[in-house]
Amino acid sequence: MEPISEAVKIVSAVNSSLLAPSATTNTRTSQHECRMCADTGYQGWKTPHAGYSMEECIFCECATGQRVLEYWKRKSVAKKQADMEKLFVGACIPAHFRSFTLDSIRQRAVNEPDKKAAIDAVEQWITAGYVEDPATKRYKSGLVLAGDYGRGKTGTMTPAIRHSLEQGKSGLWIEVTDFVGAIQSGYRDGTSLERLEAAQKVDVILLDDLGDKSRDGAETDDRRRIIYQLVNYRHNNGLPMRITTNLNGQQMAAQFGGANCRANHGIVRMGEYGGAQFAPGVSQ
Ligand SMILES: [Zn+2]
């Protein structure tokens, strides 16, 4: 009988220390709310402060551990974002688009029913985390808005990027021409790889204005290779993108090998293709 009553005593001591830690005696365990981590938030001695990566550290499941984990997560996103802004000038949402919300783009498009599908797709992505591809009816985690110049593709995509940033994710917003230019200009000073890697790994990316409709055939090898490395890496690592393009699906396939885009991006047309909707000189 003795061992059982010992066990009961121990259990009741544990319970009282959990319920009222300050009222218990000052044994080593009773000084801490969490006996797993002694209120440090870490299990084990590896911490980011000591130079270990977050993956190497074991964060406790208690409230303190989760607070510590949140702290390091925020810090790592902030660092990613700062690095991004060093590598790409103006890496985030341009001033002109900052005020765009789902409501404001719906307001603007109230007399343009041909934009509804695109706006709905952005809203679906924000609320559900995926987009139903109109052609295949499959759910995709990335989104391509395709349509002619001046249709407002970039503005329509803006709330999706804002949403991700507000969720504490790192983001890169970049026009394809600037992206390719930034990579190519880095060949001389050796920053190309660093830039490419940052774009490959950032949480969210808006690749704005992919393609050039006036080209019938393939892109130049270098330009195509640069874009392919970005698209393919993100595809293989489950990091889909937000893309705006004035190309249709066939042109995208011809210029960039569109299979990867098709695989994990819903492709939603914005407005009609063709001459009637073309509005030269209108900034998107
Ligand atoms: Zn703990």
Ligand 1 centroid from CA 62, angstroms = 4
**Mean predicted confidence (pLDDT) in 197-222:** 81
Domain ranges of the chain: 29-76, 88-272
Query: pLDDT of 240-263, one tens digit each?
Result: 899 999 887 777 777 766 566 677
Q: Is the pLDDT of residue 17 over 60?
A: no
- 278 Cα–ligand 1 center, Å: 60
What are the pLDDT digits (tens) for 66-117?
A: 999 999 999 988 888 888 887 887 778 888 888 889 999 999 888 888 889 9
CA of 35 to the centre of ligand 1 (A): 6
pLDDT tens digits for range 224-235:
889 889 988 998
Question: H-type helices in the chain, by residue range?
Answer: 2-19, 63-87, 102-108, 116-128, 153-166, 176-189, 192-201, 221-236, 249-256, 259-264
Judge whether 119 and 156 are in contact, CB under 8 Å.
yes
Between the CA of 70 and the centroid of ligand 1 the distance, in Å, is 14
30 CA distance to ligand 1 centroid (A)? 13
Average pLDDT, the chain: 80
Looking at CATH, the fold of the domain delimited by 88-272 is given as Rossmann fold (3.40.50)
Distance separating alpha carbons of residues 122 and 126, to the nearest angstrom:
6
Q: Ligand 1 centroid vs 272 CA: distance in angstroms? A: 57
Q: What is the mean pLDDT of the segment spanning 51-73?
A: 95
Question: Is the predicted pLDDT of residue 3 greater than 60, yes or no?
Answer: no
pLDDT at 280 over 50: no
pLDDT tens, position by position, 118-156: 999 999 999 998 999 888 899 988 999 998 888 889 999
* Distance (Å) from CA 43 to ligand 1 centroid: 7
Ligand 1 centroid to Cα of residue 9, in Å, is: 23
How would residue 14 be classed by pLDDT, with cut points 50, 70 and 90? very low
- If pLDDT is split at 50, 70 and 90, which confidence band does 238 have? confident
The full DSSP string for 8-76 is HHHHHHHHHHHH-GGGS---TGGG-S-TTTTTSSEESS--GGGT--GGGSEE-SSHHHHHHHHHHHHHH
> What is the share, in percent, of the chain residues with pLDDT greater than 90?
38
Cα of 21 from ligand 1 centre, angstroms:
14
19 pLDDT higher than 70: no
Q: Which of the pair, 217 or 250, is modelled with greater confidence?
A: 250
Q: What are phi and psi of 26, to 5 degrees?
A: -90, 55
Helix (H, G, I), strand (E, B) or coil at 103: helix
Q: Separation of 72 CA from ligand 1 center, angstroms?
A: 16
Q: Which two tokens stand for residue 1?
A: 């009988």
Give the Å distance between the CA of 80 and the centre of ligand 1: 28
pLDDT of residue 122: 94
Q: How far is the CA of 44 from the centre of ligand 1 (A)?
A: 11
